Structure 1
Amino acid sequence: MTAAGVVLLFAAACNSEKKESVGDSTAVDTSVTTTDTVTKPVDSAAMMKAWEAYMKPGNEHQMLSKSVGNWEVEISFYAPDGTIASTSSGIKAETKMIFGGRYLHSNYKGNMDGMPFEGMNTLAFDNSRKVYISTWIDNMGTGLMYAEGNYLESKKQMTFKGTATDAASGKQIPFREVFTMIDDNHQLMEMYDTKDGKESKTMSIKLVKI
Protein backbone atom coordinates (compact mmCIF):
# COMPACT_ATOMS: atom_id res chain seq x y z
CA MET A 1 0.00 0.00 0.00
CA THR A 2 1.42 3.41 -0.96
CA ALA A 3 1.48 6.50 1.23
CA ALA A 4 -1.06 8.06 -1.10
CA GLY A 5 -3.36 5.08 -0.60
CA VAL A 6 -3.09 5.36 3.17
CA VAL A 7 -3.94 9.06 2.99
CA LEU A 8 -6.99 8.36 0.83
CA LEU A 9 -8.24 5.65 3.17
CA PHE A 10 -7.75 7.88 6.21
CA ALA A 11 -9.57 10.76 4.53
CA ALA A 12 -12.45 8.49 3.54
CA ALA A 13 -12.75 7.11 7.06
CA CYS A 14 -12.78 10.58 8.60
CA ASN A 15 -15.37 11.74 6.09
CA SER A 16 -17.54 8.73 6.94
CA GLU A 17 -17.37 9.47 10.67
CA LYS A 18 -18.38 13.08 10.07
CA LYS A 19 -21.35 12.02 7.97
CA GLU A 20 -22.54 9.55 10.62
CA SER A 21 -22.40 12.17 13.38
CA VAL A 22 -24.73 14.45 11.42
CA GLY A 23 -27.51 11.90 11.83
CA ASP A 24 -28.38 12.95 15.43
CA SER A 25 -31.96 14.16 15.94
CA THR A 26 -32.30 17.88 16.57
CA ALA A 27 -35.30 19.36 18.39
CA VAL A 28 -36.98 22.16 16.46
CA ASP A 29 -39.87 22.63 18.93
CA THR A 30 -41.76 20.52 21.51
CA SER A 31 -43.63 18.53 18.86
CA VAL A 32 -41.44 18.29 15.72
CA THR A 33 -37.99 16.70 15.19
CA THR A 34 -35.93 16.26 12.02
CA THR A 35 -33.40 13.55 11.16
CA ASP A 36 -30.71 13.87 8.45
CA THR A 37 -30.08 10.95 6.09
CA VAL A 38 -27.10 8.87 7.22
CA THR A 39 -24.58 8.01 4.50
CA LYS A 40 -23.36 4.42 4.52
CA PRO A 41 -19.78 4.00 5.75
CA VAL A 42 -17.08 3.65 3.10
CA ASP A 43 -16.06 0.03 2.51
CA SER A 44 -12.35 0.36 3.27
CA ALA A 45 -11.67 -3.25 2.25
CA ALA A 46 -13.08 -2.63 -1.23
CA MET A 47 -11.10 0.60 -1.51
CA MET A 48 -7.93 -1.21 -0.48
CA LYS A 49 -8.52 -3.94 -3.08
CA ALA A 50 -9.13 -1.40 -5.85
CA TRP A 51 -6.03 0.58 -4.93
CA GLU A 52 -3.85 -2.54 -4.88
CA ALA A 53 -5.07 -3.43 -8.39
CA TYR A 54 -4.38 0.13 -9.54
CA MET A 55 -0.78 0.12 -8.33
CA LYS A 56 0.23 -3.39 -9.45
CA PRO A 57 2.37 -3.58 -12.63
CA GLY A 58 0.83 -5.92 -15.22
CA ASN A 59 1.36 -7.30 -18.71
CA GLU A 60 1.21 -3.82 -20.22
CA HIS A 61 4.10 -2.68 -18.04
CA GLN A 62 6.03 -5.82 -18.95
CA MET A 63 5.58 -4.89 -22.61
CA LEU A 64 6.94 -1.40 -21.94
CA SER A 65 10.00 -2.87 -20.22
CA LYS A 66 11.14 -4.40 -23.54
CA SER A 67 12.38 -0.92 -24.49
CA VAL A 68 14.86 -0.74 -21.60
CA GLY A 69 18.41 -0.07 -22.75
CA ASN A 70 20.61 2.48 -24.54
CA TRP A 71 19.65 3.78 -27.96
CA GLU A 72 21.20 5.70 -30.85
CA VAL A 73 18.69 8.32 -32.01
CA GLU A 74 18.15 10.11 -35.32
CA ILE A 75 15.56 12.91 -35.44
CA SER A 76 14.17 14.28 -38.72
CA PHE A 77 11.86 17.25 -39.23
CA TYR A 78 9.56 17.53 -42.23
CA ALA A 79 8.59 20.48 -44.43
CA PRO A 80 4.92 21.14 -45.28
CA ASP A 81 5.37 19.37 -48.64
CA GLY A 82 6.41 16.16 -46.86
CA THR A 83 10.13 16.32 -47.62
CA ILE A 84 12.76 16.11 -44.89
CA ALA A 85 13.87 19.61 -43.88
CA SER A 86 16.62 18.64 -41.42
CA THR A 87 18.08 15.61 -39.66
CA SER A 88 20.05 15.38 -36.42
CA SER A 89 21.95 12.22 -35.50
CA GLY A 90 24.32 11.22 -32.72
CA ILE A 91 21.69 11.74 -30.03
CA LYS A 92 21.68 9.11 -27.28
CA ALA A 93 18.75 7.86 -25.20
CA GLU A 94 18.95 5.97 -21.91
CA THR A 95 15.72 4.12 -21.15
CA LYS A 96 14.77 2.36 -17.92
CA MET A 97 11.77 1.32 -15.85
CA ILE A 98 11.25 3.40 -12.69
CA PHE A 99 9.14 3.25 -9.52
CA GLY A 100 9.13 -0.53 -9.27
CA GLY A 101 8.49 -1.24 -12.94
CA ARG A 102 5.50 1.10 -13.28
CA TYR A 103 6.82 3.67 -15.78
CA LEU A 104 9.16 3.65 -18.78
CA HIS A 105 11.45 6.67 -18.47
CA SER A 106 13.80 7.88 -21.24
CA ASN A 107 16.47 10.59 -21.15
CA TYR A 108 17.71 12.02 -24.47
CA LYS A 109 20.97 13.96 -24.86
CA GLY A 110 22.91 15.24 -27.84
CA ASN A 111 22.97 18.11 -30.33
CA MET A 112 20.19 19.31 -32.59
CA ASP A 113 20.98 21.76 -35.40
CA GLY A 114 24.19 22.69 -33.60
CA MET A 115 22.50 23.32 -30.24
CA PRO A 116 22.69 21.21 -27.07
CA PHE A 117 19.57 19.09 -26.78
CA GLU A 118 17.99 17.34 -23.81
CA GLY A 119 14.60 15.65 -23.67
CA MET A 120 12.66 13.43 -21.30
CA ASN A 121 9.84 11.02 -22.10
CA THR A 122 7.68 8.99 -19.71
CA LEU A 123 5.33 6.22 -20.80
CA ALA A 124 2.70 4.79 -18.48
CA PHE A 125 -0.25 2.43 -18.50
CA ASP A 126 -3.14 3.46 -16.24
CA ASN A 127 -4.59 0.24 -14.81
CA SER A 128 -7.85 1.91 -13.84
CA ARG A 129 -8.61 3.75 -17.09
CA LYS A 130 -6.96 1.13 -19.34
CA VAL A 131 -5.07 3.71 -21.40
CA TYR A 132 -1.42 4.38 -22.22
CA ILE A 133 -0.09 7.84 -21.36
CA SER A 134 2.90 9.68 -22.82
CA THR A 135 4.52 12.89 -21.56
CA TRP A 136 7.43 14.79 -23.09
CA ILE A 137 9.54 17.76 -22.00
CA ASP A 138 12.77 19.17 -23.45
CA ASN A 139 15.07 22.20 -23.36
CA MET A 140 13.61 23.54 -26.62
CA GLY A 141 10.53 24.87 -24.84
CA THR A 142 8.83 25.43 -21.49
CA GLY A 143 5.66 23.42 -21.99
CA LEU A 144 4.74 19.77 -21.52
CA MET A 145 3.30 17.48 -24.18
CA TYR A 146 0.61 15.08 -22.95
CA ALA A 147 -1.06 12.35 -24.95
CA GLU A 148 -3.19 9.24 -24.40
CA GLY A 149 -3.59 6.18 -26.58
CA ASN A 150 -3.64 2.43 -27.03
CA TYR A 151 -1.44 -0.46 -28.16
CA LEU A 152 -2.16 -2.75 -31.11
CA GLU A 153 -0.33 -6.04 -30.60
CA SER A 154 -0.71 -7.18 -34.22
CA LYS A 155 1.30 -4.17 -35.41
CA LYS A 156 3.50 -3.76 -32.30
CA GLN A 157 2.30 -0.18 -32.41
CA MET A 158 1.16 2.46 -29.94
CA THR A 159 -0.97 5.36 -31.17
CA PHE A 160 -1.36 8.49 -29.06
CA LYS A 161 -3.42 11.65 -29.45
CA GLY A 162 -2.81 14.89 -27.57
CA THR A 163 -2.12 18.60 -27.86
CA ALA A 164 1.05 20.71 -27.97
CA THR A 165 1.70 24.44 -27.85
CA ASP A 166 2.37 26.25 -31.12
CA ALA A 167 4.92 28.88 -30.01
CA ALA A 168 4.10 31.17 -32.96
CA SER A 169 0.37 31.45 -32.22
CA GLY A 170 0.28 30.43 -28.58
CA LYS A 171 -2.53 28.01 -29.41
CA GLN A 172 -2.85 24.32 -28.63
CA ILE A 173 -2.35 22.17 -31.74
CA PRO A 174 -3.75 18.62 -31.89
CA PHE A 175 -1.17 15.95 -32.70
CA ARG A 176 -1.03 12.22 -33.31
CA GLU A 177 1.97 10.09 -32.39
CA VAL A 178 2.62 6.61 -33.78
CA PHE A 179 5.27 4.56 -31.96
CA THR A 180 6.25 1.30 -33.68
CA MET A 181 8.40 -1.36 -32.03
CA ILE A 182 9.84 -2.82 -35.24
CA ASP A 183 11.87 -5.46 -33.39
CA ASP A 184 13.91 -5.74 -30.19
CA ASN A 185 16.60 -3.42 -31.59
CA HIS A 186 14.73 -0.97 -33.82
CA GLN A 187 11.93 1.50 -33.06
CA LEU A 188 10.27 4.33 -34.97
CA MET A 189 8.26 7.27 -33.66
CA GLU A 190 6.29 9.44 -36.11
CA MET A 191 4.55 12.71 -35.25
CA TYR A 192 1.65 14.29 -37.13
CA ASP A 193 0.20 17.77 -36.45
CA THR A 194 -3.27 18.98 -37.43
CA LYS A 195 -3.60 22.58 -38.61
CA ASP A 196 -6.63 24.07 -40.34
CA GLY A 197 -8.21 20.63 -40.27
CA LYS A 198 -5.38 19.01 -42.23
CA GLU A 199 -2.94 16.47 -40.78
CA SER A 200 0.71 16.49 -41.88
CA LYS A 201 3.83 14.63 -40.78
CA THR A 202 6.17 16.90 -38.84
CA MET A 203 8.80 14.67 -37.24
CA SER A 204 10.20 11.16 -37.07
CA ILE A 205 12.57 9.57 -34.57
CA LYS A 206 14.52 6.44 -35.45
CA LEU A 207 15.98 4.46 -32.55
CA VAL A 208 18.59 1.71 -32.80
CA LYS A 209 19.65 -0.16 -29.66
CA ILE A 210 23.37 -0.04 -28.89
Structure 2
Amino acid sequence: MKNFYITLSMLALCFVSCKKDVKADTETTKVSDSVKTEEPIAEQPLDSAAQMKAWTAYATPGNPHKMMADETGTWNCDMTFWSEANGKPEKASSTANIKMILGGRYQEANYQGKMMGQPFEGKSTLAYNNASKEYTTTFIDNMGTGMMVATGKYDNKTKSMEFKGEVVSPLNGKKAPFREIYTIVDATTRKMEMFDTKNGSEYKSMEIIMKKK
Protein backbone atom coordinates (compact mmCIF):
# COMPACT_ATOMS: atom_id res chain seq x y z
CA MET A 1 0.00 0.00 0.00
CA LYS A 2 2.90 2.38 0.80
CA ASN A 3 4.37 1.77 -2.68
CA PHE A 4 1.00 2.57 -4.22
CA TYR A 5 0.83 6.01 -2.56
CA ILE A 6 4.43 6.76 -3.54
CA THR A 7 3.57 5.94 -7.16
CA LEU A 8 0.57 8.28 -7.08
CA SER A 9 2.74 11.09 -5.68
CA MET A 10 5.29 10.61 -8.42
CA LEU A 11 2.54 10.75 -11.05
CA ALA A 12 1.21 13.99 -9.59
CA LEU A 13 4.66 15.59 -9.70
CA CYS A 14 5.17 14.43 -13.27
CA PHE A 15 1.79 15.88 -14.26
CA VAL A 16 2.68 19.27 -12.82
CA SER A 17 6.18 19.35 -14.34
CA CYS A 18 5.44 17.86 -17.71
CA LYS A 19 1.94 17.02 -18.97
CA LYS A 20 3.23 15.17 -22.00
CA ASP A 21 4.77 12.46 -19.80
CA VAL A 22 1.52 11.61 -17.99
CA LYS A 23 0.37 9.00 -20.46
CA ALA A 24 3.70 7.18 -20.50
CA ASP A 25 4.01 7.23 -16.72
CA THR A 26 0.45 5.93 -16.28
CA GLU A 27 1.04 3.05 -18.68
CA THR A 28 4.28 2.16 -16.89
CA THR A 29 2.48 2.21 -13.56
CA LYS A 30 -0.27 -0.09 -14.90
CA VAL A 31 2.28 -2.57 -16.19
CA SER A 32 4.12 -2.47 -12.89
CA ASP A 33 0.90 -2.98 -10.90
CA SER A 34 -0.18 -5.87 -13.11
CA VAL A 35 2.87 -7.94 -12.21
CA LYS A 36 2.74 -7.31 -8.47
CA THR A 37 2.32 -10.42 -6.32
CA GLU A 38 1.12 -10.46 -2.75
CA GLU A 39 3.52 -11.64 -0.12
CA PRO A 40 2.26 -14.73 1.75
CA ILE A 41 1.19 -13.96 5.29
CA ALA A 42 3.41 -15.85 7.68
CA GLU A 43 1.62 -17.95 10.29
CA GLN A 44 2.26 -16.61 13.74
CA PRO A 45 4.05 -19.26 15.82
CA LEU A 46 2.56 -20.27 19.15
CA ASP A 47 4.64 -19.92 22.27
CA SER A 48 5.61 -23.08 24.13
CA ALA A 49 2.80 -22.76 26.68
CA ALA A 50 0.15 -22.38 23.96
CA GLN A 51 1.58 -25.33 22.04
CA MET A 52 1.48 -27.50 25.14
CA LYS A 53 -2.13 -26.46 25.82
CA ALA A 54 -3.15 -27.31 22.24
CA TRP A 55 -1.47 -30.73 22.31
CA THR A 56 -2.98 -31.52 25.72
CA ALA A 57 -6.48 -30.73 24.41
CA TYR A 58 -5.81 -32.85 21.31
CA ALA A 59 -4.69 -35.86 23.36
CA THR A 60 -7.30 -35.75 26.14
CA PRO A 61 -10.35 -38.05 25.75
CA GLY A 62 -13.67 -36.22 26.00
CA ASN A 63 -17.40 -36.91 25.79
CA PRO A 64 -17.20 -38.58 22.35
CA HIS A 65 -14.68 -41.05 23.77
CA LYS A 66 -16.93 -41.69 26.75
CA MET A 67 -19.76 -42.51 24.35
CA MET A 68 -17.46 -44.98 22.59
CA ALA A 69 -16.45 -46.49 25.95
CA ASP A 70 -20.12 -47.10 26.80
CA GLU A 71 -20.07 -49.87 24.17
CA THR A 72 -17.39 -51.87 25.97
CA GLY A 73 -18.52 -55.48 26.27
CA THR A 74 -19.74 -58.40 24.15
CA TRP A 75 -22.39 -57.99 21.46
CA ASN A 76 -24.36 -60.55 19.42
CA CYS A 77 -24.57 -59.46 15.77
CA ASP A 78 -27.41 -60.46 13.45
CA MET A 79 -26.10 -59.76 9.94
CA THR A 80 -28.02 -59.44 6.66
CA PHE A 81 -26.39 -58.98 3.24
CA TRP A 82 -27.62 -58.04 -0.23
CA SER A 83 -25.50 -58.41 -3.37
CA GLU A 84 -27.67 -56.01 -5.36
CA ALA A 85 -30.70 -53.78 -5.05
CA ASN A 86 -33.83 -55.80 -4.24
CA GLY A 87 -31.69 -58.94 -4.21
CA LYS A 88 -32.18 -62.01 -2.07
CA PRO A 89 -30.94 -61.41 1.50
CA GLU A 90 -28.22 -63.62 2.96
CA LYS A 91 -27.96 -64.13 6.71
CA ALA A 92 -24.95 -64.56 9.01
CA SER A 93 -24.12 -64.07 12.67
CA SER A 94 -21.09 -63.05 14.67
CA THR A 95 -19.98 -61.90 18.10
CA ALA A 96 -18.22 -58.60 18.69
CA ASN A 97 -15.94 -57.95 21.65
CA ILE A 98 -15.51 -54.21 22.11
CA LYS A 99 -12.93 -52.45 24.26
CA MET A 100 -11.12 -49.13 24.54
CA ILE A 101 -7.39 -49.01 23.86
CA LEU A 102 -4.45 -46.61 24.26
CA GLY A 103 -5.72 -44.92 27.38
CA GLY A 104 -9.36 -44.71 26.31
CA ARG A 105 -8.57 -42.80 23.11
CA TYR A 106 -9.72 -45.39 20.56
CA GLN A 107 -12.31 -48.14 20.33
CA GLU A 108 -11.39 -51.59 19.05
CA ALA A 109 -13.92 -54.29 18.11
CA ASN A 110 -13.05 -57.89 17.27
CA TYR A 111 -15.62 -59.94 15.36
CA GLN A 112 -15.87 -63.72 15.11
CA GLY A 113 -18.51 -65.82 13.40
CA LYS A 114 -19.43 -67.57 10.17
CA MET A 115 -20.09 -66.13 6.75
CA MET A 116 -21.04 -68.15 3.67
CA GLY A 117 -20.22 -71.28 5.65
CA GLN A 118 -16.68 -70.10 6.36
CA PRO A 119 -15.08 -68.90 9.61
CA PHE A 120 -15.18 -65.12 9.77
CA GLU A 121 -12.86 -62.78 11.66
CA GLY A 122 -12.85 -59.02 11.53
CA LYS A 123 -11.42 -56.04 13.38
CA SER A 124 -12.63 -52.46 13.46
CA THR A 125 -11.31 -49.31 15.09
CA LEU A 126 -13.13 -46.09 15.85
CA ALA A 127 -11.50 -42.76 16.63
CA TYR A 128 -12.73 -39.28 17.42
CA ASN A 129 -10.28 -36.59 16.37
CA ASN A 130 -10.39 -33.68 18.82
CA ALA A 131 -8.77 -31.41 16.23
CA SER A 132 -10.99 -32.12 13.20
CA LYS A 133 -14.13 -32.82 15.27
CA GLU A 134 -14.93 -35.93 13.25
CA TYR A 135 -14.93 -39.70 13.61
CA THR A 136 -12.82 -42.14 11.61
CA THR A 137 -13.62 -45.85 11.32
CA THR A 138 -11.51 -48.65 9.85
CA PHE A 139 -12.31 -52.30 9.16
CA ILE A 140 -10.27 -55.34 8.11
CA ASP A 141 -11.22 -59.02 7.96
CA ASN A 142 -10.08 -62.43 6.74
CA MET A 143 -12.32 -62.23 3.66
CA GLY A 144 -9.92 -59.93 1.80
CA THR A 145 -6.65 -57.98 1.95
CA GLY A 146 -7.89 -54.41 1.91
CA MET A 147 -8.82 -51.89 4.58
CA MET A 148 -12.03 -49.89 4.64
CA VAL A 149 -11.60 -46.33 5.92
CA ALA A 150 -14.38 -43.79 6.33
CA THR A 151 -14.95 -40.51 8.15
CA GLY A 152 -18.08 -38.87 9.46
CA LYS A 153 -19.81 -36.91 12.20
CA TYR A 154 -22.32 -37.67 14.92
CA ASP A 155 -25.85 -36.25 14.73
CA ASN A 156 -27.27 -35.86 18.22
CA LYS A 157 -30.84 -35.55 16.87
CA THR A 158 -30.82 -38.93 15.13
CA LYS A 159 -28.33 -40.53 17.55
CA SER A 160 -26.35 -41.72 14.55
CA MET A 161 -23.07 -41.32 12.72
CA GLU A 162 -22.87 -41.16 8.94
CA PHE A 163 -19.55 -42.28 7.48
CA LYS A 164 -18.36 -41.94 3.90
CA GLY A 165 -15.39 -43.57 2.20
CA GLU A 166 -14.15 -45.50 -0.82
CA VAL A 167 -13.52 -49.19 -1.34
CA VAL A 168 -11.62 -50.97 -4.12
CA SER A 169 -13.66 -53.67 -5.86
CA PRO A 170 -11.82 -57.01 -6.19
CA LEU A 171 -13.83 -57.63 -9.38
CA ASN A 172 -12.40 -54.74 -11.42
CA GLY A 173 -9.81 -53.03 -9.21
CA LYS A 174 -11.70 -49.73 -9.32
CA LYS A 175 -12.62 -47.49 -6.41
CA ALA A 176 -16.27 -47.06 -5.51
CA PRO A 177 -17.90 -44.93 -2.82
CA PHE A 178 -19.63 -46.45 0.18
CA ARG A 179 -21.67 -45.03 3.02
CA GLU A 180 -22.34 -46.30 6.52
CA ILE A 181 -24.94 -45.24 9.07
CA TYR A 182 -24.33 -46.32 12.66
CA THR A 183 -27.32 -45.73 14.95
CA ILE A 184 -27.52 -45.88 18.75
CA VAL A 185 -30.99 -47.41 19.08
CA ASP A 186 -30.90 -47.75 22.86
CA ALA A 187 -28.48 -48.65 25.65
CA THR A 188 -28.17 -52.27 24.50
CA THR A 189 -28.98 -52.06 20.77
CA ARG A 190 -26.99 -50.74 17.81
CA LYS A 191 -27.80 -50.78 14.09
CA MET A 192 -25.21 -50.53 11.34
CA GLU A 193 -26.32 -50.04 7.71
CA MET A 194 -23.94 -50.19 4.76
CA PHE A 195 -24.69 -48.72 1.34
CA ASP A 196 -22.65 -49.62 -1.74
CA THR A 197 -22.77 -48.30 -5.30
CA LYS A 198 -23.41 -50.58 -8.27
CA ASN A 199 -23.90 -49.42 -11.88
CA GLY A 200 -23.96 -45.85 -10.65
CA SER A 201 -26.75 -46.39 -8.12
CA GLU A 202 -26.55 -46.73 -4.36
CA TYR A 203 -28.19 -49.69 -2.64
CA LYS A 204 -28.29 -51.14 0.85
CA SER A 205 -25.75 -53.95 0.97
CA MET A 206 -25.63 -54.84 4.66
CA GLU A 207 -27.44 -54.40 7.95
CA ILE A 208 -26.19 -55.51 11.36
CA ILE A 209 -28.36 -55.48 14.46
CA MET A 210 -26.15 -55.61 17.55
CA LYS A 211 -27.48 -56.68 20.95
CA LYS A 212 -25.34 -56.34 24.05
CA LYS A 213 -25.04 -59.41 26.24
Same fold, TM exceeding 0.5? yes
Q: For residues 53-81 of structure 1, what are the alpha-carbon distances to aligned partners after superposition, in whole Å with 9 as ceiling and x for unaligned?
A: 10000111111112111001121111423
- Counterpart in 1 of 2:155? 152
Partner in structure 2 of residue 139 of structure 1: 142
Q: Identify if the C-alpha distance between structure 1 residues 203 and 40 changes in structure 2 by more than 3 Å, giving closer, same or farther.
A: closer
Q: Is the 8 A contact 1:76 1:84 kept in 2?
A: no
Query: Structure 1 unaligned runs (5+)?
Result: 1-38
Take 2:53 and 2:200, find their aligned partners in 1: how far apart are those partners? 45
- Deviation track 1:8-65 (CA, whole Å, cap 9, x = no partner) reads xxxxxxxxxxxxxxxxxxxxxxxxxxxxxxx987622222111111000011111111
Whether 1:82 and 2:86 are equivalent positions in the alignment is yes
When Rg is computed on C-alpha atoms for both structures, the one with the higher figure is 2
Superposition deviation, residue 99 in structure 1: 1.0
In the alignment, residue 187 of structure 1 is paired with which amino acid? R
Deviation of the 1:83 alpha carbon: 3.9
Aligned residue for 1:168, secondary structure, equals: coil
Q: Percent identity?
A: 47
Q: 1:102 aligns with which of 96, 105, 109?
A: 105
Distance change in 2, residues 1:150/1:42 (3 Å): closer
Provide TM-score, normalisation by structure 1: 0.77
For residues 104 and 139 of structure 2, the distance between their equivalents in structure 1, rounded to whole angstroms, comes to: 19
> How many residue pairs get matched?
171
What is the distance in 2 between the residues matched to 1:84 and 1:74?
16
Q: Specify the alignment match of 2:35 in structure 1.
A: none
SS at match of 2:66: helix
Distance of aligned partners of 1:44 and 1:84 in 2 relative to their CA distance in 1, 3 Å threshold: farther
- Give, in whole Å, the separation in 2 of the partners of 1:103 and 1:84: 36
Structure 2 gap ranges (5+): 1-42
Tell me which residue corresponds to 2:65: 61
Q: TM-score, normalised by structure 2?
A: 0.76
Indicate yes or no: 2:185 matched with 1:202. no
In 2, the alpha carbon distance for the partners of 1:133 and 1:124 equals: 5
CA distance in 1, matches of 2:45, 2:85: 62
User: Greater share of strand residues, 1 or 2?
Assistant: 1
In 2, the alpha carbon distance for the partners of 1:50 and 1:40 equals 15
Counterpart of 1:125?
128
For residue 113 of structure 1, report the CA deviation from its aligned partner: 1.3
